[in-house]
Amino acid sequence: MEFRHPIVAAPMAGGPSSTALARAVASTGALGFLGGGNKTAQQLTEDYRAVADAGSVGVNLFVPDVANTAVDPVRSQEQRSERLAAFREKLLPFADRLGVDIPTVEQAGADVSDDWNAKLAAADEWPIVSFTFGLPHPEIFAQLHDSGTQVGVTVTTVTEARNAVEHGADFLVVQGPEAGGHRSVHDPLAEPENVPLLDLLDAVAEVVDIPLVAAGGIVTPEHVQEVLAHGAAAAAVGTALLLSDEAGTNPIHRKMLQEDRSGATQTTRVYSGRVSRSLVNEFMTLEAPAIYPEVNTLTVPIKRAAIAAMDPRSTHLFAGTGYVQARTGPAAEIVEWLASNRP
Ligand SMILES: Cc1cc2nc3c(=O)[nH]c(=O)nc-3n(C[C@H](O)[C@H](O)[C@H](O)COP(=O)(O)O)c2cc1C
C-alpha cells in the first residue's frame, strides 16, 4: 500500500463523511474515506459507486463483536441485560425532556451485526477497506486480498498493531488519545491507553514494517509535518474537516464546534458503549456500560431529537483535542493547506 499524498480524510460515520466530502478530498489527490458504520451494505455500495470516479476513496467498516477476535465472548456477555436495563432507566429523564420513546433492552439487542456479512460480500468493489473497533480473523483479510482490496486496521496500542500485522493488514491507522470520535480499542471492555500520538507512533514503528497513517489531534500543517517526521506515511484528519463545506456535520454539531471556545474535550461511553471524545455536555455525566452497539441503539432517539431541536445537551458533539483550530471553507482548500509544508 502506497500513500502518495500526505493527507487522508479520516472516516467519520454518522453524517460527516458525506460522498461530497470524499469527492472533494479525493479530487486533491489525497485519500478520501466513506464511513460505513451504521449504514446498510446497500447504502454503502451506492455511496461508493457515487464517488468511485473521483480518485482514491477508502471504505471504513466497524468490526462487530461477533467478528472481532479481540472479544472474550464469555466476559462480554456477563450481566448484559441487567446492566443495559439499569442504563436505560437513567436515560428516561432525557427521553422525557425531548418527548421521545427509547427502545427496550430486547429491541436494542435485536440486530448487532451492522450488516457485516453483506458488507464483506460487497467489498470486492472497494480497493481500500479499513477496519475499526476490532480485528477480524485472518481469513477475512485473505478474502479481501483475493479480490485485490488493500486492508487497513485502526490500532491504539503496540499489541493491537502487532496483531493486525499478523492477521494480514496492509497498513495501520495509528490512533492517539487526542482523536475525536471513537477510539478504536480492539477489546471493547478495555480502557483506552493514553500514550500521546507521537510516542505511540514511535513505539509502533519499532515493531511493524508496513505503512502507518497517524490519527488524532492533527489540525495544522505543523502537526502533519510532525507525524511525517515520526515515520508516518500520511496523516488522517477528522476534526480538521468537520467544518468544511462538504462535510455532513449536523447543524448543532457545527454550531457548538464554532461557539465553544473552551478547547475542552472529554471522553465518555454514554453515546454508544465504546469510548469516544467530544465537547463536554450534560449527557456525558451519565455512566454507561461497555456494551456496544446496544448503548448506541438505546440512545439514538435521544440524540436524533436533540439534533432536531438544536439542543446540545444530549447529543454527541465529537471533537478531537485540536478542534479550536478547525477551519471552515471548501474541503479541498483545507486539505491543500494541511499539506502545504510538504517537503
Ligand atoms: C465525527 C467523527 C466521527 C468518526 N467516525 C469514525 C468512524 O466511523 N470510523 C472510524 O474508524 N473512525 C471514526 N472517527 C475517528 C476518526 O476516523 C479519526 O481517528 C479521528 O477523527 C482523528 O482525530 P481528529 O478528530 O483529532 O482528527 C470519527 C471521528 C469523528 C470526529
Report the nearest-CA residue for atom 13 of ligand 1: 12
CA 17 / ligand 1 centre spacing (Å): 9
Question: Does ligand 1 lie within 6 Å of residue 320's CB atom?
Answer: yes
Give the model confidence (pLDDT) of 236-256 as tens digits: 999 999 999 999 999 999 999
1 domain-assigned: no
Instruction: Please report the pLDDT score of residue 112 as a whole number.
Output: 95
Report the nearest-CA residue for atom 21 of ligand 1: 238
2 domain-assigned: no
The DSSP 8-state label assigned to residue 298 in this structure reads H
The DSSP 8-state label assigned to residue 99 in this structure reads T
Instruction: Please report the pLDDT score of residue 1 as a whole number.
Output: 85
Question: Does ligand 1 lie within 6 Å of residue 239's CB atom?
Answer: yes
- Cell numbers linked to 1: 500500500
174 domain-assigned: yes
CA 249 / ligand 1 centre spacing (Å): 12
Query: In this structure, how many other beta carbons lie within 10 angstroms of the beta carbon of residue 60?
Result: 23
19 domain-assigned: yes
264 domain-assigned: yes
Ligand 1 atom closest to Cα of residue 239: 25
Q: How confident is the model at residue 77 (pLDDT cuts 50, 70, 90)?
A: confident
Average pLDDT in the 143-148 region? 98
Instruction: Please report the pLDDT score of residue 321 as a whole number.
Output: 98
Count structural domains, the chain: 1
246 domain-assigned: yes
Ligand 1 atom closest to Cα of residue 33: 17
Predicted confidence (pLDDT) at residue 342 exceeds the cutoff of 60: no
343 domain-assigned: no
Q: How confident is the model at residue 67 (pLDDT cuts 50, 70, 90)?
A: very high
Give the model confidence (pLDDT) of 311-336 as tens digits: 999 999 999 999 999 999 999 999 99
Predicted confidence (pLDDT) at residue 117 exceeds the cutoff of 80: yes
Query: Percentage of the chain surpassing pLDDT 70?
Result: 99
CATH number, residue 151: 3.20.20.70
Instruction: Please report the pLDDT score of residue 343 as a whole number.
Output: 43
175 or 74: whose pLDDT is higher?
A: 175
256 domain-assigned: yes
Predicted confidence (pLDDT) at residue 75 exceeds the cutoff of 90: no
Question: Does ligand 1 lie within 6 Å of residue 11's CB atom?
Answer: yes
Q: Domain range holding 61?
A: 7-338
Average pLDDT in the 95-101 region? 98
Predicted confidence (pLDDT) at residue 194 exceeds the cutoff of 90: yes
Question: Does ligand 1 lie within 6 Å of residue 312's CB atom?
Answer: no
Report the SS3 class of residue 313: helix
CA 180 / ligand 1 centre spacing (Å): 5
Residue of 8, 18, 182 with the most ligand 1 atoms within 8 Å of its CB, for mutation: 182
Ligand 1 atom closest to Cα of residue 175: 19
Instruction: Please report the pLDDT score of residue 78 as a whole number.
Output: 85
Predicted confidence (pLDDT) at residue 119 exceeds the cutoff of 50: yes
Report the SS3 class of residue 235: strand
Ligand 1 atom closest to Cα of residue 35: 8
Q: Which whole-number Å values give the CA distances from 296 to 107, 123, 276, 280, 335, in the listed order? A: 12, 25, 12, 18, 31
Give the model confidence (pLDDT) of 252-293 as tens digits: 999 999 999 999 999 999 999 999 999 999 999 999 999 999
Instruction: Please report the pLDDT score of residue 189 as a whole number.
Output: 96
Pair 236, 218: CB distance under 8 Å:
yes
Give the model confidence (pLDDT) of 37-60 as tens digits: 999 999 999 999 999 999 999 999
